[in-house]
Amino acid sequence: MESGGEEVSVKKKRGRKPKAKNEEGPQVKTPKEGKRSQQHQHQHQQQHHANASSEDKYNRWKSVVPVLYDWLSNHNLIWPSLSCRWGPQLEQSPHKNRQRLYLSEQTDGSVPNTLVIATCDVVKPRVAAAEHISQFNEEARSPFVKKYKTIIHPGEVNRIREMPQHNNIVATHTDSPNVLIWDVEAQPNRHAVLGATNSRPDLILTGHQDNAEFALAMSPTGPYVLSGGKDKSVVFWSIEDHITSAADSKSGGSIIKQNAKSGEGNDKTADGPSVGPRGIYCGHDETVEDVAFCPFNAQEFCSVGDDSCLILWDARSGSDPAVKVEKAHDADLHCVDWNFHDVNFILTGSADNSVRMFDRRKLTSNGVGSPVHKFEGHSSAVLCVQWSPDKSSIFGSSAEDGLLNIWDYEKVGKMTERSGTTPTSPAGLFFQHAGHRDKVVDFHWNSYDPWTMVSVSDDCDSNGGGGTLQIWRVSDLIYRPEEEVLSELEKFKSHVLTCAASK
């Protein structure tokens, strides 16, 4: 099947070992003369044209950075990162706020895989000068991002999720059946060198019967964790099943019982404290690729998988699906997110290159998934979708085409009505971040600064290797009400004419 072929290719990309940035790739053997040589030359020419086209596209994007962005910071990564997340805000000052940032380093085995805790100085709106944000060096580290602590992770970090109720707790997925819980403040800082022992997780969540690599969520309403894996199941835990007293938690200590010294080097992660699940939910026929909690009720959650299904669950009514949406997409589903402001709306992204929005009040029609709208603005598999924390109609999607699209479903149809002509861009698309040269594997809206994003690309398929982390904020002239923007620009026009006249 066609979708099956896409599934295999995606998994190979996720599982392959990367090369470091600036590291030379393997030497290509010269093919024999004749037909094979011609084929090789043709493939080389195609790749050359593709690279040239990509470079032109990137250069065009960079030339308009001062117009599109209020702030942008580019951070070169030696190793690719498969996940990036904002953490708590740490400090506030007149021109910038310091915030925690989580990311991973996926290595080739020459050094250990790591979970990185960094600090990021987020420049406040309308502070950065246009000439500064456009003149970044693609091969340099950003001065705004500083590594604070390194945890040597047992296996590559496929997903990171932070706990809203406790600033220091994160969960990670790796190539194993377990979910690992880390208290990032209690963990010691480690030096990632070959042969170093793994950091010891503060807690291990057990219950999967096969590897659980990508599907991971933490509830906004309580210390609950959700996971999905290759065993086709969704597993639910409460960290409250293994925590200290509320008094200890409030005093700033870890919420996790310290059965042993946190973070001690130990290659056998199973030796750490563990907790079993509160529930295991079976309804998928293939690997579960992503999960999401209902923002207002931890007993309700959803999942998507390689069986093209979207399933809604309610833990109060047992372990069977509450609603199963068959054929939610035309291929494997990679990602799902539940609207923070309107619990009726759920987003899904797929290997069929589309994002679909479902209304849980009417999920199916004649037994087939019936989305409210299909958003088709990517040219390859969608890897991540996420609602904006600020406005209920806005969301982002990233894909293997290297683009991160920002959509507003309230704008669907309005451009056509206003202009009376066929729109040139996909319905609902109002901003496109094209600053990455390769697949954008993860991104995260900043809840403290809602139009500020962090995004990360895995650049191993492009010439440089490694990865790229970008922190950026869309110019408010793009998303504010049109009347406000025109009024402000009119004032700016008057100011410019006044300045010109005074010279």
One-letter-per-residue 3-state SS of 128-158? CCHHHHHCCCCCCCCCCEEEEEEEECCCCCC
Where b means 16+ CB within 10 Å and e means fewer, 451-481 reads bbbbbbbbbbebebbbbbbbbbbbbebebee
Residue located via tokens 């007993």: 299
Name the token pair of 295. 């923002």
> Tell me, what's the pLDDT at 493?
66
Which residues have C-beta within 8 Å of that of residue 332, sequence separation ≥ 6? 3, 6, 7, 10, 286, 289, 305, 306, 308, 350, 351
Report d(CA 473, CA 398) in Å as an integer. 16
- Closest alpha carbon to 217 in 158, 273, 162, 285: 162
pLDDT in tens, the chain (503 residues): 433 444 433 344 444 455 566 544 333 333 334 444 454 455 455 555 555 567 888 889 999 999 999 999 999 999 999 999 999 999 999 999 999 999 999 999 999 999 999 999 999 998 988 777 878 888 899 999 999 999 999 999 999 999 999 999 999 999 999 999 999 999 999 999 999 999 999 999 999 999 999 999 999 999 999 999 999 999 999 999 986 433 344 444 455 655 444 455 444 444 579 999 999 999 999 999 999 999 999 999 999 999 999 999 999 999 999 999 999 999 999 999 999 999 999 999 999 999 999 999 998 776 677 999 999 999 999 999 999 999 999 999 999 999 999 999 999 977 544 444 455 789 999 999 999 999 999 999 999 998 999 999 998 877 567 899 999 999 998 888 888 877 777 776 665 566 555 55
> Tell me, what's the pLDDT at 162?
97
60 burial type by CB count under 10 A (0-12 exposed, 13-18 middle, 19+ buried): exposed
Where b means 16+ CB within 10 Å and e means fewer, 17-55 reads ebbbbeeeeeeeeeeeeeeeeeeeeeeeeeeeeeeeeee
Name the token pair of 242. 């293994």
Q: Vertex 481, ends 475 and 487: CA angle to 5°?
A: 85
> Tell me, what's the pLDDT at 58?
87
Name the token pair of 473. 């904020």
Q: Vertex 100, ends 383 and 130: CA angle to 5°?
A: 80
β-strand partners of 313: 301
SS3 category, 264: coil
Phi, psi of 292 (to 5 degrees): -155, 140
Q: Where are the beta strands (DSSP E) in 202-322?
A: 203-205, 215-218, 224-228, 233-238, 274-275, 279-282, 288-294, 297-305, 310-314
- Closest alpha carbon to 367 in 338, 324, 420: 324
